[in-house]
Amino acid sequence: MTQLLAFAKPQPLLTFFALTFAISWGGILISVGVDGLFGVSELDEARLPFVYLAMLAGPSAVADSRQRLRRRFSNRAV
């Protein structure tokens, strides 16, 4: 955990985008499965709301971190 935190602290923007990507695509993989993702099997219409929720979950889950990023960079002198 400390190694992950040591990587995330000096590179907050990269960490934000990596977390957003991982949460969004992880949720999509969970909701449609690997076969549905690659088009091997048909995607049920009942699963589509879960796909849209997964796409929105990534940025909204990390939104609090984004506020912290703004505060961190607003205190620095340019």
> Where are the domains positioned within the chain?
12-74
Please report, in tens digits, the pLDDT of each residue of the chain (78 residues total). Answer: 678 778 777 887 888 888 888 888 888 888 887 777 666 677 677 878 888 888 877 776 666 666 666 776 676 655
Q: What is the pLDDT of residue 2?
A: 78
Q: What is the pLDDT of residue 65?
A: 62
Distance between CA atoms of residues 27 and 16, nearest Å = 17
pLDDT digits (tens, 9 = 90+) for 41-58: 776 778 788 888 888 777
Cα–Cα distance list, 74 to 26, 48, 77, 78 (Å)? 32, 39, 8, 9
Instruction: Look up residue 41 and give its amino acid.
Output: S
